[in-house]
Amino acid sequence: MSRAAKLTLAGFSTFALTTIVFVHYTQTAEKAAMHQGVVRDMEQQRIKRERQADFDMQRQLEEEYRKVQTVRDGGDDHR
């Protein structure tokens, strides 16, 4: 093979290898980013469920307290 043919083959081989490595790295990075998004969404859903459970518990406690106590609105009745 001539020197030009060897250089051309080496150049295209290097280009192909670089392209393969770049695509692999990009796919790995995208997969990691998507995984982080899923983890973040699951954490937000967990927090939302906890807050809803707290809210439901507070509502239940309020109903129990209203049965036991007389509750008035915070108007200016104490003049």
Size (the chain), residues = 79
What predicted TM-score, i.e. pTM, was given to this entire model?
0.54
Alpha-carbon dihedral angle through residues 55, 42, 36, 33, given to the nearest 10 degrees? -110
pLDDT tens for the 79 residues of the chain, in order: 899 999 999 999 999 999 999 999 999 999 999 999 999 999 999 999 999 999 999 999 999 988 888 767 766 655 5
The string of DSSP letters for the chain reads --HHHHHHHHHHHHHHHHHHHHHHHHHHHHHHHHHHHHHHHHHHHHHHHHHHHHHHHHHHHHHHHHHHS------S---
